[in-house]
Chains A and B, each alone.
Chain A
Amino acid sequence: MNAPVFQMRNVSIDLDSPKTPARRIANGIDLELHRGKTLALVGESGCGKSVTALSAMNLLSAPLRISEGSILLETEAGREDIARLNPSGSQMRAIRGRRIAMIFQDPMTALDPVYTVGDQITESLCQHLGLSRKDAWKRAVELLRLVGIPAPEQRARNYPFQLSGGMRQRVMIAIAIACSPSVLIADEPTTALDVTVQAQILELLRGLGEDLGMATLLITHDLGVVAENADEVIVMYRGYVVEKAGVDALFDNPAHPYTQGLMASLPPADGERIELTPIPGQVPAITEDIVGCPFASRCPHVMPKCGETMPALGAISSEQSVACWLYPAAAEARP
């Protein structure tokens, strides 16, 4: 595979607190995004998905901060470590929306209610590409057509409240891809939409990613979405990456007990009626101090070693790695 356009290397995120020592929200996250490919980031609520997504754009604000690691973005000028840039500085602003764009969860609140959608698309075009208002408007109409909005000339003059949820999410996508970014981060882009619209939006995202050569980071808790749309998957639990695999490998052979638990709690697609097995317990709170593996308290295969140290991610095949002591050949204590 060719060189990744975007890479997070050993990124850790801390939550500062004036009274207690800083809490680590994400531990040594490693991920790579490739042109035209989709990487899915999966996990249940509170496992650090969204924080990781925000850190990818250097959008964390106090009390959260990137405490370690580098975030490398490939640009024409070469490779740049955006974790080192001032989060509110002009260099970072020139990258956001231009090189890396983001789509948010709720299209109902992510558009400004007082401007037409056309105005909101042109804003980013004028800002980053220096287009004149007239040219930007033309381009905005083209973008609306590209994301599958019928009668884009008229729609561009509509206010967000005049559009349905699915249409608004399409507008969000149009804004995100306006400046042809190389990386697109989609933070649960379909959670707020109904199921039939979900599939259309995901298909649109996937098609655009391939056509425009964008690398997509898809954040979701829906394994069905992952199976349909991702090329690679990262499973997160309580701030750790516990498994990383190609999408087929993951669904054929889930290795980490947490991944297995997620699969077992999913109804089978063939409609067979079986008993679903939920994962007992819940994600330990961020305020709890944990020694060893954070999943140990809920794990059916727990062993003494789990309560002592957390293993690092180790390869069990060419396209699958897992952080679990069940695989002694691959597991190694984290440095």
Chain B
Amino acid sequence: MSKKGLVGFGILFLVIVAAITAPWISPFDPNAQDIINSLAAPLAEGSEGGIHLLGTDRLGQDVMSRIIYGTRVSLTVAFGAVGVSALIGIPLGLAAGFMNRSIESLVLVATDIVLSIPFILLALVLMSVLGASLTNLIIAFAVVRWAQFARVTYSLSLELREKEYVLSCKAAGISLPRTLAVHVLPNMVGPLMVVATLELAYAILMESGLSFLGLGAPPETPSWGGMLQEGRNELDTAWWLTAAPGIAIMATAIGYNFVGDWIRDRLDPRLQGVLR
């Protein structure tokens, strides 16, 4: 495995382990307030013992513990939202590329409409109608971002449907659904992986944006986006409140990208001799 792949999987592994074992590895209860220790600097001692590795926020909540619990929101929203978008967008893109003209124009018009509405506005409307919860965050993301998958899948279809091996599948009596699933989709995985990794990073940003506006994760749920936005007010006095979740978001996004690169290289048989 390449170094990049190792780093990517390493980061992702850490995030996943942290999400699963959060109650055991967190030094403090993420919602326990310790007003005396408000805005304590990293490595400060807690009033009831223990060390605040990454300091505390305005309410004296331990930043480290909140970062660890935040992996849960980050993973759920990112994978849930991107997964649902892909599940809607990819089949629609394939249908537009390989079925008849009217389906093609229907899907294309729908993607154009969805992508022409400013995303944050549409998400805001949806979140205020549906209410703030993680499930609704995922729904709001998928309602808009399926179009990105549909559009990329469609443009890849335009290229692939002209390939002779797609015609030769037809000439060999292989049905369209099988051709799509077995011969078309695997040839799209590389570019779609890239889209998915970009969308994962986008989903984290959307989560933080909506949390800032009070329409993301519910306030009692520790989320990186929410922490980042709360820390914004103390930027000149307590840098750790923004630096910690900021670095966590950045590292995770880089991890997704490295993993995406590795999967893409891995699925391209032409590169296999080079990689091994």
A93 touches B173 (CB 8 A): yes
In whole Å, how far is B188's beta carbon from the nearest beta carbon of chain A? Answer: 10
B187 touches A113 (CB 8 A): yes
User: Does A189 interact with chain B (Cβ within 8 Å)?
Assistant: no
User: Does A106 interact with chain B (Cβ within 8 Å)?
Assistant: yes
Q: Which residue of A lies closest to B269 (CB)?
A: A159
In whole Å, how far is B162's beta carbon from the nearest beta carbon of chain A? Answer: 9
Q: How far is the CA of A128 from the CA of B174 in the complex (A)?
A: 9
* Chain A residues whose CB sits within 8 angstroms of the CB of B113 once the complex forms: none
* Chain A residues whose CB sits within 8 angstroms of the CB of B168 once the complex forms: 102, 104, 110, 172, 175
Q: How far is the CA of A88 from the CA of B187 in the complex (A)?
A: 23
* Chain B residues whose CB sits within 8 angstroms of the CB of A109 once the complex forms: 163-165
Q: How far is the CA of A128 from the CA of B183 in the complex (A)?
A: 17
1/0 contact string of B171-185 vs chain A (CB within 8 Å): 111111000001100
- A114-B172 contact, Cβ under 8 Å, with A104-B167, A106-B164, A109-B164: no
A96 touches B269 (CB 8 A): no
User: Does A66 interact with chain B (Cβ within 8 Å)?
Assistant: no
B269 touches A97 (CB 8 A): no
A124 touches B173 (CB 8 A): yes
Q: How far is the CA of A96 from the CA of B167 in the complex (A)?
A: 12
A59 touches B165 (CB 8 A): no
Q: Which of A59, A93, A98, A110 contacts B175 (CB 8 A)?
A: A93
* Chain A residues whose CB sits within 8 angstroms of the CB of B267 once the complex forms: 114
| B residues 139-176 touching A (CB-CB < 8 Å) | 163-165, 167-168, 170-176
User: Does A264 interact with chain B (Cβ within 8 Å)?
Assistant: no
In whole Å, how far is A263's beta carbon from the nearest beta carbon of chain B? Answer: 32
User: Does B186 interact with chain A (Cβ within 8 Å)?
Assistant: yes
* Chain B residues whose CB sits within 8 angstroms of the CB of A124 once the complex forms: 172-174
* Chain A residues whose CB sits within 8 angstroms of the CB of B171 once the complex forms: 57, 59, 96-97, 101-102, 104
Tell me whether chain B's interface is mostly helix, strand or loop, or mixed.
helix
User: Does B270 interact with chain A (Cβ within 8 Å)?
Assistant: yes
- A96-B163 contact, Cβ under 8 Å, with A113-B187, A114-B186, A159-B269: no
1/0 contact string of B252-276 vs chain A (CB within 8 Å): 0000000000000001011000000
B164 touches A97 (CB 8 A): no
A97 touches B183 (CB 8 A): no
| A residues 120-136 touching B (CB-CB < 8 Å) | 123-124, 127-128
In whole Å, how far is B169's beta carbon from the nearest beta carbon of chain A? Answer: 8
- A88-B176 contact, Cβ under 8 Å, with A97-B171, A109-B164, A161-B270: yes
Q: How far is the CA of A98 from the CA of B163 in the complex (A)?
A: 22
* Chain B residues whose CB sits within 8 angstroms of the CB of A105 once the complex forms: 164
User: Does A95 interact with chain B (Cβ within 8 Å)?
Assistant: yes
Most B CB contacts (10 A, CB to CB) among A92, A111, A113 go to A113
In whole Å, how far is B274's beta carbon from the nearest beta carbon of chain A? Answer: 12
User: Does A112 interact with chain B (Cβ within 8 Å)?
Assistant: yes
A127 touches B173 (CB 8 A): yes
In whole Å, how far is B182's beta carbon from the nearest beta carbon of chain A? Answer: 8
User: Does A85 interact with chain B (Cβ within 8 Å)?
Assistant: no
- A111-B172 contact, Cβ under 8 Å, with A159-B269, A161-B269, A161-B270: no
Q: Which residue of B lies closest to A95 (CB)?
A: B173
In whole Å, how far is B187's beta carbon from the nearest beta carbon of chain A? Answer: 6
Q: How far is the CA of A153 from the CA of B126 in the complex (A)?
A: 58
- A111-B165 contact, Cβ under 8 Å, with A57-B171, A102-B171: yes
- A113-B269 contact, Cβ under 8 Å, with A104-B164, A106-B164: yes
User: Does A94 interact with chain B (Cβ within 8 Å)?
Assistant: yes
B174 touches A110 (CB 8 A): no
In whole Å, how far is B55's beta carbon from the nearest beta carbon of chain A? Answer: 50
* Chain B residues whose CB sits within 8 angstroms of the CB of A106 once the complex forms: 164
- A112-B165 contact, Cβ under 8 Å, with A159-B269, A161-B269, A161-B270: yes
Q: How far is the CA of A145 from the CA of B165 in the complex (A)?
A: 22
Q: How far is the CA of A113 from the CA of B168 in the complex (A)?
A: 13
In whole Å, how far is A36's beta carbon from the nearest beta carbon of chain B? Answer: 22
* Chain B residues whose CB sits within 8 angstroms of the CB of A115 once the complex forms: 183
B269 touches A123 (CB 8 A): no
Q: How far is the CA of A72 from the CA of B167 in the complex (A)?
A: 22
* Chain B residues whose CB sits within 8 angstroms of the CB of A102 once the complex forms: 168, 171
B172 touches A59 (CB 8 A): no
Q: Which of A101, A159, A161 contacts B172 (CB 8 A)?
A: A101
| A residues 294-312 touching B (CB-CB < 8 Å) | none
Most A CB contacts (10 A, CB to CB) among B165, B167, B174, B182 go to B165
In whole Å, how far is A163's beta carbon from the nearest beta carbon of chain B? Answer: 12
A112 touches B172 (CB 8 A): no
Please name the 4 residue pairs, one residue from A and one from B, whose CB atoms are nearest each other, closest first. A97-B172, A96-B173, A97-B173, A110-B164
- Could you jot down 13 A-B contacts, CB within 8 Å? A59-B167, A59-B171, A90-B175, A94-B173, A97-B171, A102-B171, A109-B164, A111-B165, A123-B172, A124-B172, A124-B174, A127-B172, A172-B168
Interface of A toward B, CB cutoff 8 Å: 57, 59, 88, 90, 92-98, 101-102, 104-106, 109-115, 123-124, 127-128, 159, 161, 172, 175
